[in-house]
Each structure stands twice: as structure tokens, then as C-alpha cells.
Amino acid sequence: MADVKYTQEHEWIRVEGGVGTIGITQYAQEQLGDVVFVELPQVGRKVAKGEACAVVESVKAASDIYAPVSGEVTEANTGLTDAPGDVNAEPTGKGWFFKLKLADKSELDGLMDEAAYGAFVKSLA
């Protein structure tokens, strides 16, 4: 099974092989409300860990999506262009944003596992 890690900015990354699929968490989509627009990174773009590389806009606000690790964008979920509501419906499923070929797998070590992320979210309440 793929390992899922989380950031303090509420992104998740699911790594399979050397590629990570990235999206926002259930908590993040709940805070945003109804997603109405998504701006995705270009395939081939190289991003650094922590770099803003996508945008999600809701009826409440616009938020940057940050790269949880460094790498090269290999795929963008262009289906979100026509159906941004998929981010609300399935934030950890068909609402993913983009895929990255990891530049350095050790960067995953600084991210939270599901239990640590759950505790982090509880601390925000």
C-alpha cells in the first residue's frame, strides 16, 4: 500500500514508486468551502519543496498549493479544470492536483504521517 504523508499547509502526498500524487486534505477542503477554480502546474515544471505551484479558489478564498517535496511535475489533473468540485467531493481521490517525480525521497521524512496530522488538526481547533 502507498504511504501517505501530510504537510502543515494541509497538502497530502501519496508515493508509489518514485512518483508522488499531491492534493489537499479533507480538513483543507472543508475550510475552503465550495471550490470553484483550480490552477494547475505545467507538466515538466521543476518545483522545490515548499514552493507554491498550484492555486485553489473557493467561494471564500484563494489559496496556494505548495509542493510537499522537490521534483518535476509529470502529470496535472486537468479534469479539475471542468470539475473543480471534485476537490470537495473526493479530496484524497479524484480531486488530486498533480503528480511529481521525486528529486529526493529523504524529503518525505520531514512530513507527518496520518496520526501526527490528525493530532495537528485537532490542535488547530
Mean pLDDT score, 6-35: 96
Mean pLDDT score, 96-111: 97
Residue extents of the structural domains in the chain: 3-120
Please report the pLDDT score of residue 2 as a whole number.
Answer: 61
Statement: residue 54 has pLDDT above 70: yes
Average pLDDT score over the chain: 96
Give percent of the chain above pLDDT 70: 98
Q: Which amino acid is at 13?
A: I
Please report the pLDDT score of residue 125 as a whole number.
Answer: 80
Q: What is the pTM of this model?
A: 0.95
For every residue of the chain, DSSP letters joined together read: --EEEE-TTSEEEEEETTEEEEEE-HHHHHHH-SEEEEE-PPTT-EE-TT-EEEEEEESS-EEEEE-SS-EEEEEE-THHHH-TTHHHH-TTTTT--EEEEES-GGGGGGSB-HHHHHHHHHHH-
Please report the pLDDT score of residue 3 as a whole number.
Answer: 83
Instruction: Give 81's contacts (C-beta < 8 A, 6+ positions apart).
Output: 38, 40
- What's the CATH class of domain 3-120? mainly beta
Statement: residue 116 has pLDDT above 50: yes
Give percent of the chain above pLDDT 90: 95
